[in-house]
Structure formats: C-alpha cells, structure tokens
C-alpha cells in the first residue's frame, strides 16, 4: 500500500529534526518512492510503500518526539478510477 506522509515541526525542533535525518535508517518493509522538503521550512513530504505494520511503526515512532506526522493511504488516480469502475 502507498502512504503519503506530511511531517511538520516547530521551529525550535529544527536541529533535532536534522539529527534525526542524519541517523535515519529505513527498516526492511519500507520502500521510499520519493520525498520532498518544503523550502519555506517546517514540513517534509514522503511517499512510500509498506504492507507491514511493524515496519510502519519502526519507521514512524522514532520521529514522534520531534514532529507531527499526518499519514494518508493513497493510490494513483487512474488506479482508483479502475477499481471504482469494477465496483459499478
């Protein structure tokens, strides 16, 4: 399954965020598709695949002390249209 995450943090946590990025280890079961940083600061966007709840937790829990994570399951719009067409 694909997930789009938007992580945001308070300006005073910037240095902690940078340290987390330096130590980032992506666990087995997480396949990062792409990632972006908000050039105005304070937000990070990542699109990844994951079908393993343990990998999902291992990837996200280490960040819970320095930022807010908004995670949404997503799919390509063409795939969504195909799925919904089969339901009709």
Under a CB-based contact definition with an 8 Å cutoff, are residues 71 and 1 in contact? Answer: no
- The distance in angstroms from the start CA to the end CA of the chain is 23
Q: How many domains does the chain have?
A: 1
pLDDT of residue 47: 98
Residue 41 is part of which domain span? 2-87
Side-chain-facing half-sphere of 23: CA atoms under 13 Å: 9
Looking at residue 87, its pLDDT comes to 80
Residue 88 has pLDDT above 80, yes or no: no
Please report, for the domain that includes residue 73, its CATH number: 3.30.70.100
Rounded Cα distance between 60 and 83, Å, is 29
The average pLDDT across 8-36 equals 94
pLDDT in tens, 30-80: 999 999 999 998 999 999 999 999 999 999 999 999 999 999 999 999 999
């Amino acid at each position: 399954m694909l997930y789009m995450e938007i992580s945001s943090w308070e300006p005073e946590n910037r240095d902690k965020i940078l340290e987390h990025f330096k130590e980032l280890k992506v666990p087995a079961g997480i396949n990062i598709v792409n990632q972006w940083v908000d050039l105005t600061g304070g937000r990070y966007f990542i699109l990844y695949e994951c079908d393993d709840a343990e990998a999902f937790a291992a990837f996200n829990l280490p960040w819970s002390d320095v930022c807010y994570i908004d995670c949404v399951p997503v799919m390509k719009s063409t795939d969504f249209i195909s799925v919904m067409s089969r339901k009709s």
